[in-house]
A and B are shown apart, each in its own frame.
Chain A
Amino acid sequence: EDQVTQSPEALRLQEGESSSLNCSYTVSGLRGLFWYRQDPGKGPEFLFTLYSAGEEKEKERLKATLTKKESFLHITAPKPEDSATYLCAVQDRGYQKVTFGTGTKLQVIP
């Protein structure tokens, strides 16, 4: 069964303090790994899709990377508006079901 583990569960950063969120996964065959951002009371907002080890994608202060066992979401010089829960999900190649991790709740303090 596919599994996704995100760490840490919660992260508190000072504005401008860069850090990384981790997503470890187990999947029989990876079709894609997704990162989402979720604000309280809202649906997840799509950020990135990564398909193969070594792939990297960037958007503003966020950069996602992928290895064969894990993905990292690097946040450079975060701002308070980056505060949210970040979700990682994997889609397997065969069954094509999408499995989500429980997320990392990020708080950026001014």
Chain B
Amino acid sequence: GQNIDQPTEMTATEGAIVQINCTYQTSGFNGLFWYQQHAGEAPTFLSYNVLDGLEEKGRFSSFLSRSKGYSYLLLKELQMKDSASYLCAFLNDYKLSFGAGTTVTVRA
């Protein structure tokens, strides 16, 4: 079967760093995505990892370990506008499976 887990909620202070973990189990794997979704809006693409290691994109970085079925999204220098839900998703052939999302609240 397929399963994907991430924490439900996280809170952090403006300017801080937050790490959102994601673990997954799947019979086939073609990559892992992170999406951001602000309340009431559509998800938007943040990152994609298919090989092990860290991908850095400005204030956001994403890490993948395929052998451990593990990924994380690192948000640095948090800003108020980063308050959103962060969705982890893995690709298996042509199907994309999402986790339930992690709601990050940034406090001043």
A in complex with B: no
